[in-house]
């Protein structure tokens, strides 16, 4: 991976993004930098470049800034968004629903209520899935102890 030469970050960027950003950063990012190439983002997130471009095409990413030659330059805010999307994906949320949330974010403050609803419904799903997994865990433990005793 080549770490590209970067211009100083545009402080005036007004790309719509989720106002409420996640405080804990899971991927180390070089300090004082705000313009990452796609291959850097691949390294940070574990997603493929193809998937990153595809997310953009389907409207799951806010518009990503470009270099003067047309190459993508991701901001820290974009990385935060990708972290969030990755978490939503882990809950089993369909991509279409995540796109819907992204649209609400783009539409601005007037969609706060709807966003809150969507997240609350997702929260309920997550709690259900956790309960199911605990249930499964107890079945697994039961069977494992059977095999452990049996031989």
**Under the rule (CB under 7 A), what is the footprint of DNA?**
1-2, 5, 37-40, 48-51, 53-54, 57, 67-72, 89, 94-96
Answer yes or no: are the C-beta atoms of 83 and 18 closer than 8 Å: no
Q: Is 22 in the site for a copy of itself (CB under 8 A)?
A: yes
Q: How far is the CB of 54 from a copy of itself (least distance, A)?
A: 21
Partner that binds at residue 37, options DNA, a copy of itself, none, CB closer than 5 to 8 Å by kind: DNA
In the DSSP assignment, the letter for residue 65 is E
d(CA 75, CA 50): 18
Toward DNA, which CB reaches closer, 33 or 67? 67
Taking each helix axis as running N to C, give the angle between helix 112-150 and helix 95-107, from 0 to 180 degrees, rounded to the nearest 10: 150
Q: How far is the CB of 151 from DNA (least distance, A)?
A: 29
Partner that binds at residue 70, options DNA, a copy of itself, none, CB closer than 5 to 8 Å by kind: DNA
């Amino acid at each position: 991976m080549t770490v590209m030469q970067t211009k100083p970050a545009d402080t005036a960027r007004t790309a719509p993004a989720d106002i409420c950003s996640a405080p804990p950063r899971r991927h180390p990012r070089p300090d004082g930098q705000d313009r990452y190439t796609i291959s850097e983002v691949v390294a940070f997130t574990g997603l493929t470049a193809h998937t990153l471009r595809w997310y953009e095409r389907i409207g799951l990413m806010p518009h990503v800034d470009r270099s003067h030659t047309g190459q993508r330059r991701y901001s820290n805010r974009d990385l935060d968004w990708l972290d969030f999307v990755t978490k939503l994906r882990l809950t089993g949320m369909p991509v279409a629903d995540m796109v819907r949330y992204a649209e609400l974010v783009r539409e601005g403050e007037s969609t706060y209520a709807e966003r809150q609803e969507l997240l609350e419904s997702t929260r309920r799903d997550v709690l259900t899935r956790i309960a199911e997994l605990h249930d499964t865990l107890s079945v697994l433990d039961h069977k494992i102890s059977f095999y452990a005793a049996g031989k």
